[in-house]
Each structure stands twice: as structure tokens, then as C-alpha cells.
A and B are shown apart, each in its own frame.
Chain A
């Protein structure tokens, strides 16, 4: 399985961009966020599974995925700031999506603080699984729902329906979706490395 993940990683790279200019960031910046949502969804799934089966490995998987999600979220924020500086003219704007994602990052930071505050394994696993469910729902609200209800600089928000409003033509899609899949593979792969390390440490 590990090999298939690595092959998934290798095949996506040659498919990356040969199109226009700054829109190429679609493949990098946007796929960071897609991957982050995928990581958090995996973390959420494992948290639920821990609560029903009480298997500590599920808890370890859940943290590792959330950690990778945080890595992708910070990369998404930093690349977004870079892109925003030269498109919108400022590193940070009061765009609902920007503030929503910043709040999401803070919510997940609190998740790690909460985990580190507890010593008892079972208790830590249960409480952080419950918090994880809360954090995931808040993430959906803050980056998935609220920005769509107000005006935003991001495409697909404030009335315009999702993806078609970009110039996301078929050539872009052809690169974008494999890129997202590839990043999700890389993310789950590194998360599984992190999980194995955690298991050895436990």
C-alpha cells in the first residue's frame, strides 16, 4: 500500500502545469486547502470510530491526520497571503474566507493544546475525539458555509455558484483534480508515517 501511495505521488508531478500564469496557483494554493479538508475529514472519521470502538490506534491516526491537516492549512495560509499580495494588493484582507480559515486554524491549535494538557491515554483520546468532532463541524461552517453567505474576494462565494465562475476550464481541471488527488495521497502517506512513529513511541 505504501508503494502504491508513492507511485501516486510520482505520477502526479509530471502532470503539473503548462497553462497560464498566476492562475497556476490554483494547482498549489487551492489544492492545499482541498487536502487540508480531506485530512481533517479523515481525522474526524477516526475520531468517531474511536468513540464507537475504543481502539487507541484510531486515536493515534486521528491526531496524525489532524497534524498533517495543520501543515497543509499553514501552507495554504502562507501561499494565499503571497498570492493575495500581488492580486488583491494586501497580505491580508478582511475577506470572510480568510478570517474563517484563520479561526479554523486556531480551533485546531486548541485541539493540540487540549491533547497535550492530559496525561491519561484513554481520557485524552475520548475528550480529544469529542473536540475533534466539534472542530470539524466548525471548520465546515467557517470555510464552507459562512463565506458563501457574504461577499468575498474568493471566487465561488457571495452568490456565484462554486467552481464554474473561475475560468476553471477543462484544461485546468485536467491538472487540478489529479493534483488534489496527488496531494491527498502525499498527505495520507506522511500521516501514516507519523502514525507509525506515534505507535512506536506509545
Chain B
């Protein structure tokens, strides 16, 4: 489980397969930062999509 999530994040920047944690530790752990920014972006975007949906619902009621 751990390995699979880690390698999922490792795959994003490279698109390479079967690279486990090594990429995350390389280049001064810069990919950790990238993963963190990705999480924040996905989280905020997801929240805004949710907001959008409830606005749309309100518009349809009118």
C-alpha cells in the first residue's frame, strides 16, 4: 500500500514505471514539494467544484 501510493506520486513527473521511492528522495526531495503542491491544488479545486455544483443547483431552482 505504502509503496504503491509513493510510486504513484513518483510516476507523475517521469511517467516511468517501477521506480519506487528513489525518485522522491532524489534531487533534494524536490518531488515531495511537487506532491504537496499537487495535493493542495487538487484539494482546493475539488472544493471549488463542489461550490460550483451547489451554485448551479440554486440557479436551476429559479
Contact = CB atoms under 8 A, between A and B. Distances in A.
Contact of A86 (B32, B44, B51): B32
Contact of A194 (B9, B35, B51): B51
Interface in B30-44: 30, 32-33, 35-37, 39-40, 43-44
B6 to A, nearest CB: 7
Interface stretch (A72-80, A103-111, A164-172): A72-80
A24 B29 CA distance: 10
Interface centre among B25, B29, B36, B37 (most CB of A within 10 A): B36
Q: Is the interface of B mostly helix, strand, loop or mixed?
A: helix
Interface string A125-167: 0000000000000000000000000000000000000000000
B58 A79 contact: no
B51 to A, nearest CB: 7
Contact of B27 (A21, A28, A29): A21
Contacts of B51: 190, 193-194, 197
A20 interface: yes
B48 interface: yes
Interface of A: 17, 20-22, 24-25, 28-29, 32, 71, 74-75, 78-79, 82-83, 85-87, 91, 190, 193-194, 197, 200-201
